[in-house]
Amino acid sequence: MTFFYRLFLLSSLITTVGLAATLPNTVPAHAQAASCPAPALSRFQRHKVMRGETLESIAQQYNLAPETLIVMNPNVNNGRVKVGSELQIPPYNGIVVEVPSGQSWRQVAAQYKVRPDAMFEINGCQTKPKIVFVPGLNWLPNRPQTTSVIPKNSNTQSRVNISGYPLQEAATVGLGYGWQINPQDGKVFFHSGVDLLSPVGSPVQAIAPGNVVLAQDQGSYGNLVIINHAGGMQSRYAHLGSIKVKVGQQVNAGDVLGTVGTTGQPTAKEPHLHFEVRSSSSQGWVAQDPKGYLKR
Ligand SMILES: [Zn+2]
């Protein structure tokens, strides 16, 4: 290693550490009140869709990525907007996230790779917000290079290298993947998986071969089994009544992992398996629409 290279490493280390040490106080207390804009969540506008407008044209009008409008508006169907319907228009590209209990908004910022000072300001310098606006497009599985990219299933398709079915019988979808309205409280939330209606006690099986990396109670997921598959893919099986595998165990497609149950905080009262497919990315394990992976 050359001297200069060592010097470079040393200086970059100092920069990193220095930055980390100053981040919590990036915005000095006295500057907060003066420079703090109204929270992004209070600056949403409404847009009534007119004849001839498309999702892309509306997004362009507000300088936003179409994806942002898709996630903010459950009434956008397959990238289409209905004439006469109203859209919520955020002030920036981003996503609305509920800060999980026991976590801070800083952890949410880190998760989405947003600078804490930027996140703090955009949310009106609140110290303990329950719901935050996360600016940027880091929540997208594949961050678009241009603003004209519409998420199609092409992304999901190209990743398909696992497929199978987590139950022995074909099940009705109780609640699909994506932005949904919670039937219990009417609030909009992001459903990271699919709910497959099935009686309590039904065997739950691995959709593809892999390695069990988690098999335990996990908060709102209840009893949860996570399997890592080849190719940076992962499947999750939640609200299980019983777990029949152990961490580290290799499983094959069709191996029983446990049984359908009602543990955790299932969205629907009707017994179901909450099933997720995730893919590894720089943002961690990003939820995918399980639809493309479910095959019987
Ligand atoms: Zn669910």
- The alpha carbon of 148 and the centre of ligand 1 are apart by a number of angstroms equal to 31
Q: What is the mean pLDDT of residues 249-274?
A: 94
Distance 183 CA to ligand 1 centre (A): 12
CA of 268 to the centre of ligand 1 (A): 8
Predicted local distance difference test score (pLDDT) of residue 141: 61
Nearest Cα neighbor of 224 from 210, 233, 208, 235 is 235
Per-range mean pLDDT, top range of 52-56, 151-155, 166-170: 166-170
Question: Above 80 in pLDDT, residue 39?
Answer: yes
Mean pLDDT calculated for residue range 152-165: 58
Query: What is the distance in A from the centroid of ligand 1 to the CA of 266?
Result: 6
* pTM of the full structure: 0.51
At 13, is the pLDDT very low, low, confident or very high (cuts 50, 70, 90)?
very low
Q: Rounded to the nearest whole angstrom, what is the distance from the C-alpha of residue 194 to the centroid of ligand 1?
A: 6
Ligand 1 centroid to Cα of residue 133, in Å, is: 23
pLDDT bucket at 33, cuts 50 / 70 / 90: very low
* Whether domain 45-89 has CATH 3.10.350.10: yes
Domain with CATH 2.70.70.10 in the chain: 160-293
Please tell me the distance between residue 276's alpha carbon and the centre of ligand 1 in angstroms.
9
Residue-wise pLDDT for 209-225, tens only, equals 999 999 999 888 999 99
Question: Higher pLDDT residue, 271 or 149?
Answer: 271
Q: Is the pLDDT of residue 244 over 80?
A: yes
Ligand 1 mean position to 55 CA, how many Å? Answer: 28
How far does residue 245's CA lie from ligand 1's centre (Å)? 21
The helix (run of H) or strand (run of E) holding residue 286 is strand 284-288
Ranges for all domains in the chain classified under CATH 3.10.350.10: 45-89
Q: Name the residues around ion ligand 1, CB cutoff 5 A.
A: 195, 267, 274
Express the helix, strand and coil content of the chain in percent, nearest 5 each: 25, 30, 45
In the predicted structure, residue 238 carries a pLDDT above the cut 90: yes
Both tokens of 51, joined, read 């004849």
Structure tokens at 54: 């498309």
Examine the pLDDT at 203 and tell me if it is beyond 90: yes
How would residue 235 be classed by pLDDT, with cut points 50, 70 and 90?
very high
> What pLDDT digit, counting tens, does each position of 75-97 carry?
887 778 999 999 999 988 898 88
pLDDT at 254 over 90: yes
DSSP codes, 8-77 = HHHHHHHHHHHHHHHGGGSS-HHHHHHHPPPPGGG--EEEEPPTT--HHHHHHHTT--HHHHHHH-TT-B
- The domain covering 160-293 belongs, at the CATH homologous superfamily level, to Glucose Permease (Domain IIA) (2.70.70.10)
Question: Ligand 1: distance of its center to the CA of 196 in Å?
Answer: 8
Spacing, Cα 247 to ligand 1 middle (Å): 23
Q: What spacing in Å lies between the alpha carbon of 267 and ligand 1's midpoint?
A: 6
Closest to 96 in 3D by CA, of 23, 179, 25: 179
